[in-house]
Structure 1
Amino acid sequence: MPKGRDVGGAAPWMRRLRPSQPVVADTSAMSEDALIIYDRFGLEAFAWSFENAETTVAAIFESTPSIAAEAGLHSIFMRGLRASVLREMRMADGEDLDPMTEECADVARDFARRGLDLTTMLETIRIGSRVSSAEYIRAASVLIEDPEERADAIARLMDVFFGSLVRFSAEMSDIFEAERSRWDTSRSAERLAMVNSLLAGRAVDRRRMSDVLNYDLDGRHVAAVAWSAGTEGTARLGALLTAELDALGANDPLVVDVGLGAAWGWGVVTDRGLSVPPTDPPVGISVAVSQVRQGRAGFARAHREAMKVEQLLKFAAPTMPRRVFHADVELATLLASDLESARYFVRGQLGQLAVDDERMERLRTTLWLYLENERSVATVANLQFIARNTVTYRVKQAETLIGRRVEDARLNLQPALLLARILGRRVLTEPPSD
């Protein structure tokens, strides 16, 4: 139990914290810190902590692109930052606590297992501290009216963040070094290093590769990436990915652990092609599946495709399936490589239809199905269990909102609708406030 649990009350202004836009704050399985913050400051302040964590993670990944493509790292980071912000809130309220949480320790262990360097990890900590502390100071500046009280609160926040940054960095470094020493001597590390050499196109001794990986590079490959929103344990995640490759119809699977929350896999596909697994991955697990590619070049190409899907799904709406095939979202992975440009594209093509509310979602869904099914009103009516006249009415409404006939805009309209379906509020327009 962290020291100082029953202390607090130095920052009553934090009860007035509010997120800048609606945030889905998960209260289903709350940590001790979460329970204390929820009880002390209320649901809105708890939701603010989620927004702060999202803002901080986005800044870290934008500033350090070398880690942005790491499978599953975004989920590990988000989990760690959410825990860190909650701990910071208690410290800002006057509690004397260790800034380290188990979720943050997992980030350090994850970096070590991936072979990422300590300098990069410390840089992400520095960026995260700067961005997160700025959110607190900005909030205090707005919420505290009395100038002296505001100055005192900001000075206290700066002391808290500076002191915790030094201590936190040292503790994360110790955890990183201990995990790297243990990991570097493991069989899993050897397999991951061999796979990374193959993916980078470096020369690899075939006999050694056969001993370490026991996998045929000359076949037709499907690649899959699995990652977890939590920490499932690499053994369980690897077992799940092995079962997934088997269900896809891939033989002789090769599965390697990547950090704490991700696994990469490949399998050899016969002439029958891929099967569609009969069941979804377990809740909390997502799987990205490549197309089938041939030979050593195909081994690397298939992996890149699976990783592109994983990167797309980092920003996807929560309604997306837990298993996604590259062949189904190939265009979206290209369009969404630049999120800001994708946002402008969607809003420019859809106009008022890009508003993020239930009515526009209903119209977008009908229009998407209409275009996907060669403008067959009867097919869409059957798919949505609505009358044909309703389909026609919704399509005409959509055309009015877009400002163009569907037939004249189809080339850009379908990709825009696809991005809206996958990325949701990240590319849509906020509804007007009442």
Structure 2
Amino acid sequence: MQGPELLATWLREFAQEQSEAGCVQAFVDTVDNSIRSQMPIFDTDPVLTEDLHRSTRYQWLAFLSVLQQREHQILLPPQAHDLARTLARRGHELGVLLKVYRSAHNGVFEYCTAVVESLDDQAPPREEVLKHLWNRVDRWLNDAIEVLIETFYEERQERHEGALARRAEVVETLLAGDPISVDEATDVLGHPLLQWQLGCVLWASEAGADSAAAVLQTANDLAKSLGAARPLFRVAGSRDMWVWVATPAQPDLTAIRHLEPRLAELKVHLSLGVPAPGVEGFRSSHAEARAAQNLCMTVATSPTIVDYRAVELLCLAATSGVLMERMVRREIGALRGVDKNLAQLRQTTLAFFTNQMNIEATAAKLFVHKNTVRYRLARAEELLGHPLVERTALVELALRYVEFFDPSGNL
């Protein structure tokens, strides 16, 4: 087998091999790492980063699906358009989108070069493979940019038109802490800023028309649960929404818990800030809700509803990285592990701290006998090597860290 026939056979086998999950992930890692090394905006925006990963993943699969055709063809998946829309909705300039694809260019070349260098003697000549691959990749990226520029500007135009643009401007002004008349802002937004403010973030697991509708419906259900007329919301990306609910008095957030089954069914997640009054509450509660969302984006399985007050210490500690994990191992190393008995000890000890070190309250919370709680706490102290009244804050933080980031106890 020689010439075009050999290359065609190799391309068919290459496309099949590269469509497997492991190879796709390797491609995504290479390309997106190249992009992120040049663009720090992705380091602080987990939703935008996930949109990037999805765009890269599905563009590669689409590219592989047409690679064997003689003529160049581009089939941009919806996820590529989602990334362009999210960049526009985040308020970024077109240059940011263009830089994404310039950086991707380097990452794809690095990946293709590595593929070619690994070819054996049974494959077509390396220079022939690289020339063919790179010609198709280069044309794909150039065509993608042309298509996505149009998507970006369509989204940008819609964002800046009419009342939506004015409302977005007022929200940005409030969040930035810039001077603005509260009466004017209340009138433009149709939102009572002098009342108690609950900031929330809603996000769907997948982007799409159905998920966008589900997120919007959830925002309305949320406001209704708290006795509010309607929420103020701002679409922040392809699948996430910022929401504020205003109430005359401090809202009871337990009223939201009945939404959890419906949220799980819709694959929609909700993070809650701490309710606070006035413009400052509008700003602070939103920042807290976003911090809770960012925390959720770092774990494989996000909670359906996460309250910032329950994870505040984790939000503050999450940026510590290696230092935090080192502290966890030091403080509760003997309580780590996948054994179910160790899991019970962690659960009981954390419940003990949560219930102000009250044995009876802990037993009621866990539906076990008081003596069972006493036994487990004694065992935990034995493994830790000190009483639970010592180093309480660090032990509790370490337990909460394991509960949230690694319930199996492998950390």
TM (norm. structure 2) is 0.78
The CA deviation at 1:62 is 6.3
Partner of 1:419: 401
> How big is each residue's C-alpha offset from its partner over 1:58-99, in whole Å with a ceiling of 9 and x where there is no partner?
664565333554584344334323312322443566774315
Aligned to 2:149: 173
Shift of 1:120: 1.3
TM-superposed CA distance for 1:135, in Å, is: 4.5
Match of 1:79 in 2: 54
Find 1:239's aligned residue among 209, 213, 217: 217
Partner of 2:11: 10
CA deviation after TM superposition for structure 1 residue 203, in Å: 2.4
Q: Which residue is 1:369 aligned to?
A: 348
Contact 1:228 1:286 in 2 (8 A): yes
TM-superposed CA distance for 1:317, in Å, is 3.3
Name the amino acid aligned to 1:296: V
Alignment partner of 1:279 is 2:280 = no
SS in 2 for 1:10: helix
1:296 partnered with 2:279: yes
The match for 2:65 is 90
> How does 1:380-399 map onto structure 2 within 5 Å?
383=366, 392=375, 396=379
| 2-structure distance, mates of 1:284, 1:65 | 29
Q: How many residues align?
A: 390
Which residue matches 2:291?
308
Q: 2:21 aligns with which of 46, 60, 71?
A: 46
Q: How far, CA to CA, are the matches of 1:323 and 1:54 in structure 2? A: 29
Please state if 1:323 is matched with 2:305: yes
Q: Which amino acid aligns with 1:247?
A: S
Q: Which runs of 5+ in 2 are unaligned?
A: 1-7
Matches within 5 A, 1:66-145: 66-70=41-45, 72-90=47-65, 96-98=72-74, 100-131=76-107, 134-135=110-111, 137-138=113-114, 141=117, 144-145=119-120
What residue is the counterpart of 2:245 in the other structure?
A: 267
Q: Is the Cα contact below 8 Å between 1:346 and 1:427 reproduced in 2?
A: no
Q: Which residue is equivalent to 1:32?
A: none
One-letter identity of the residue aligned with 2:100: T
Residues 111-260 of structure 1: matches in 2 within 5 Å?
A: 111-131=87-107, 134-135=110-111, 137-138=113-114, 141=117, 144-146=119-121, 151-152=126-127, 153-154=129-130, 156-206=132-182, 208-233=184-209, 234=212, 236-250=214-228, 252-260=230-238
Q: Distance in 2 between matches of 1:265 and 1:108?
A: 22
The 3 A distance-change label for structure 1 pair 163 and 340 is: farther
Contact 2:15 2:65 in 1 (8 A): no
Change (3 A) 1:393 1:205: closer
3-state SS of 2:231 partner: strand
Percent identical: 18
Q: Classify the secondary structure of the residue corresponding to 1:373.
A: helix
Q: Tell me how far 1:195 sits from its aligned partner.
A: 0.3
Q: CA RMSD in A?
A: 3.9
Residues 181 and 381 of structure 1, relative CA distance in 2, 3 Å threshold:
closer
1:101 is displaced (CA, Å) by 1.7
Distance 1:59 1:118, change over 3 A: same
Tell me, yes or no, if the aligned pair for 1:228 and 1:284 is still in contact at 8 Å: yes
For residues 87-139 of structure 1, the C-alpha deviation after alignment (integer angstroms, 9 at most, x for no partner) is 24435667743152222012212222332211112222333443455455546
Rounded Cα–Cα distance in structure 1 between residues aligned with 2:188 and 2:82: 27
Native 8 Å contact 2:173 2:179 kept in 1: yes
Change in Cα spacing, 1:229 to 1:262, as seen in structure 2 (3 Å) is same
Q: CA distance change for structure 1 residues 390 and 51 in 2, over 3 Å: closer, same or farther?
A: farther
Instruction: Return the alpha-carbon distance in structure 2 between the equivalents of residues 88 and 363 of structure 1.
Output: 48
In the alignment, is the contact (CA less than 8 A) between 1:256 and 1:265 conserved in 2?
Answer: yes
Alpha-carbon separation, structure 2, partners of 1:395 and 1:147: 66
The answer to whether the 8 Å contact 2:90/2:237 transfers is yes
Give the CA deviation at 1:311. Answer: 0.8
Matched, 1:64 2:39: yes
**Which residue number corresponds to residue 4 of structure 2?**
none
3-state DSSP of counterpart to 1:180:
helix
TM-score (norm 1): 0.74
Q: Is the 8 A contact 1:370 1:377 kept in 2?
A: no
Give 3-state SS (helix, strand or coil) of 2:11's partner. Answer: coil
Secondary structure at the aligned position of 1:225 is classed as strand
CA pair 363-49 structure 1, distance change in 2 beyond 3 A: farther
Question: Relative to structure 1, is the Cα distance of residues 416 and 157 closer, same or farther in structure 2, using a 3 angstrom cutoff?
Answer: farther
Q: What is the alpha-carbon distance in structure 2 between the residues aligned to residue 58 and residue 427 of structure 1?
A: 29
CA contact (8 A) 1:289 1:325 kept: yes
Task: Report deviation, 1:223.
Answer: 0.7
Residue type of the alignment partner of 1:253: P
1:16 Cα deviation from its structure 2 partner: 5.8
* One-letter identity of the residue aligned with 2:180: V
Q: Which structure has greater helix proportion? A: 2
Contact preservation (8 Å) 1:317, 1:421: no
